[in-house]
Amino acid sequence: MKRFKKYTLIIPSCILLAGGIAACKKSFLDKAPLGTLNQQILANEAGVQGLLIGTYSLVDGEGSSGDGIGSAASNWLFGGIAADDAYKGSDPSDGGADWLPIETHAVTSTNPSCSQKFKLCYGAIQRANDVLRTMALATDIKPEEATTIRAETRFLRGFFHFELKRIFNMVPYVDETVVTTNANVDLSNTTDIYPKIEADFQAAVDSLPETQPQVGRVNKSAAKAFLAKVYMYEHKYAEAKAIFDDIIPHGQTSDGKPYDLLPNYFSNFNPAQKNSQESVFAAQTSVNDNSSTAWSGEPNGNFGDILTSLTMVVLEVAAVFTILLMI
C-alpha cells in the first residue's frame, strides 16, 4: 500500500514536470530584448509622436550615424564653402584634407564629409519610415491627428531625400515598404527621384494645417515653399512661380505670422530673433539640457552646425522670397 501511494505521487509529478518543460520550451526564450523600444511598445500616440520628434531632431545634423561637420541641413560645408559664400578658415591642418577638396571642387567619394551627409540623411529617412510603419499599428490616434502626422512625416522624408538629391544626384529612394530584412528589395540609383520627392511634398501640402501648436513643426506654407524649391531645381519655373505668387502674399509661419522680410537681413542670424516672419522651416535647438556633448566637452554641440551661429535651413528659400519681393 505504501509503495502504491508512493507511485501515485511520483507519476503525476513527473507528468506535470514534463508538461511544464514542454510548455515553456518556446515561451521561456521568446522574450523582448530589455532596454529596447519595439513597435508594439511605441504603437500609440505618444510613441509615434516621439518617433516623429526624433526625425525632426536630425535636421540639425546631430544624433545619428554619420553626424559630423558635413551632416547638417544648413549645408555650410556643401553649400556655403563649396559656393565661396564661406571660407574654411583656421590653419591647413584643421580639416584641410576633408574640407578643402569641397572648397576647390576636387572632392572624391572617399571624403568622410560625404559619408557623414549620406548616412545622416538615410538615418533620418529610416526614422520617418518608422513613424509611418508604427502608426499603422496604433489604435489610439484620431484620424485627423494621423493625417497631420503622416503629412509631417512625408515632408521630412521628402526633405532628406531632397538633401541627398541635391548633393549626390542619383540616389535610391527609400519609403516605408523597404525593410532591411527583405534581401530582394530594389535600391538601385538609376532612377531620378525628383518625382517621388515632389509626391512627398505635395502630400504634405494637401494635408498639413496652416498653423501648428509648436513652432518647429512644418506647416502648409512651408511645404508649398519646398515644393516650389524642388520645381526650381527641376527648371519648372512656371510651376514654382505659381506657388511663390501664392505664398508670398498669403503664406504664414507655423505660429501664424504672415511671411515678410525683417527690417535687417542680419537679424536672420541672431538666435534671439529666430522663428521670425522670414522663417519657413527652422531647426529648433536648446541649450544646456544635457542631451549631447560637443567635441570640446560643452553640451549641445549641434556638431553639424558647429561653425555657424544659427541653424536655419530657411535661408535658401528666404533668399528666393527676397529676390521676388524686390522685383
pLDDT digits (tens, 9 = 90+) for 158-185: 999 999 999 999 999 999 988 766 556 6
> What are 179-218's pLDDT values in tens digits?
766 556 667 889 999 999 999 999 999 999 999 999 999 9
CATH at residue 275: 1.25.40.390
- In angstroms, the CA 145 to CA 143 distance is 5
Higher pLDDT, 150 or 93: 150
In a domain, 215, yes or no: yes
Confidence of residue 296 (pLDDT cuts 50, 70, 90): low
Residues with Cβ within 8 Å of residue 10, at least 6 apart in sequence: none
The pLDDT score that the predictor gives to residue 315 is 41
The pLDDT score that the predictor gives to residue 50 is 94
Q: Give the three-class secondary structure for 202.
A: helix
Higher pLDDT, 33 or 100: 100
- What DSSP state is assigned to residue 232? H
The pLDDT score that the predictor gives to residue 107 is 87
The pLDDT score that the predictor gives to residue 281 is 93
The pLDDT score that the predictor gives to residue 250 is 96
In a domain, 305, yes or no: yes
In a domain, 261, yes or no: yes
pTM: 0.81
Position 99 pLDDT exceeds 60: yes
The pLDDT score that the predictor gives to residue 322 is 44
Average pLDDT over residues 46-75: 86
Confidence of residue 269 (pLDDT cuts 50, 70, 90): confident
In a domain, 28, yes or no: no
For the chain, percent of residues with pLDDT exceeding 70 = 73
Average pLDDT over residues 287-308: 59
Question: Taking all residues of the chain, what is their mean pLDDT, rounded to a whole number?
Answer: 81
> What are 11-60's pLDDT values in tens digits?
555 555 555 555 555 666 666 666 566 777 787 899 999 999 999 989 98
Position 124 pLDDT exceeds 70: yes
In a domain, 184, yes or no: yes
In a domain, 120, yes or no: yes
In a domain, 17, yes or no: no
In a domain, 12, yes or no: no
Domain that holds residue 129: 37-326
Q: Tell me the CA distances in angstroms from 234 to 39, 89, 193, 195, one per residue in order.
A: 38, 33, 11, 10
Q: How many structural domains comprise the chain?
A: 1
Going by C-alpha positions, the residue among 61, 284, 45 that lies closest to residue 144 is: 45
CA 8 from chain centre, in angstroms, equals 67
Confidence of residue 319 (pLDDT cuts 50, 70, 90): very low
Residues with Cβ within 8 Å of residue 244, at least 6 apart in sequence: 225, 228, 320, 321, 324
